[in-house]
Structure 1
Amino acid sequence: MAYVIKDSCISCGACEPECPVGVISGGDNIYVIDEAGCIDCGACANVCPVDAPVAE
């Protein structure tokens, strides 16, 4: 399982520095997670103010 960022992302950037494996990056008006590298730790979800990262 990996985390993905839903459309509710407000591009605040809070998640990016929390990722211990560096797989979160800014995209077109939304941050994205490279699912292949995600270690399913949930660090991004813990800091997101709009609950955009979800486990899938």
Structure 2
Amino acid sequence: MHAGLAASKREARRLVAQNGLRLNDVVVTDAAAGVAPSDLRDGAAKIPAGRKRHVLVRPG
């Protein structure tokens, strides 16, 4: 929700259930999963939701 990919937790869970959420081009299947340091590539993680919404996450 902080990245703006889903308006609510329910919508985020629906994205995961419908295989619409990816982390570095791998489908996310667990709604409780988070981004771990091992998921970072070159210091960032790419999270696309659907075809048009994409976010690049960097640790702060």
TM-score (norm 2): 0.34
Structure with bigger RCO (C-alpha 8 Å, 6+ apart) = 1
- Whichever of the two has the greater Rg, that structure is 2
| Structure with greater proportional helix content | 2
